[in-house]
Amino acid sequence: MTGKTEDREVEFISLMLQRAVSEMAAEVCEQCGKCASGCPVSRHMEDFNPRRIIAKVALGRIEELLKSEEIWTCTSCMKCKERCPENISPYDVILVLRNMAVRAGLPHPESYDQTIEAVVDNGVTQEPLTVRTRTGERHDRSSLSLNPIDKPQDMEEFKEVLLSIVEAGKPR
């Protein structure tokens, strides 16, 4: 991303932080654990626990969370959001934390950057691939009689508008 100035990022992050704590009402969480007991990831990974993430947010341990691997482990299935008796959504909290971590330039999975770069350059997350049949025969869109994919016609203009709105979305 272009034109990143540290002051603006700090301001942005504090704003997001405020939102994470107040809007998500993490302080009303009674730690009942309905989120964690239903979480399909927690079942297979002991170190992922949405209840603990909410506890950390309530205690202000945001920086620790931003630098942790756990915020990148949620599948976004939203089961926790539906199960919470207090209408807290660990899913939404995790999404805000991800936004904050990326904006603060903290380590995050490379695959997200690759996907974003692909969209900026080509308008889509991935160019059409060659695939194989079960017997090993190679095919692409044209050999399967599929037309070329739709894409932004003027890539330069697409890129310019996209990057400018991403930039405008940051607080000044």
The residues binding other proteins (CB under 8 A) are 1, 40-41, 43-45, 48, 72-79, 81-82, 95, 98-99, 102-103, 108-109, 111-112, 115-116, 118-119, 123-129, 131, 133-135, 137, 139, 141, 144, 146-147, 149-154, 157-158, 160-162, 164-166, 168-169
Is the Cβ of residue 30 or residue 153 nearer to other proteins in the bound state? 153
Is the Cβ of residue 36 or residue 59 nearer to other proteins in the bound state? 36
Residue 42, burial from CB neighbour count under 10 angstroms (0-12, 13-18, 19+): buried
What's the chain's length in residues?
A: 172
Coil/strand/helix, residue 79: helix
What's the closest the beta carbon of residue 165 comes to other proteins, in angstroms? 5
**CB-CB contact of 58 with 21 (8 Å):** yes
Beta-carbon count within 10 A of 93 CB: 27
Is the Cβ of residue 21 or residue 166 nearer to other proteins in the bound state? 166
What's the closest the beta carbon of residue 14 comes to other proteins, in angstroms? 17
What's the closest the beta carbon of residue 107 comes to other proteins, in angstroms? 12
Coil/strand/helix, residue 82: helix
Is the Cβ of residue 60 or residue 117 nearer to other proteins in the bound state? 117
**CB-CB contact of 64 with 52 (8 Å):** no
**CB-CB contact of 93 with 20 (8 Å):** yes
What's the closest the beta carbon of residue 121 comes to other proteins, in angstroms? 11
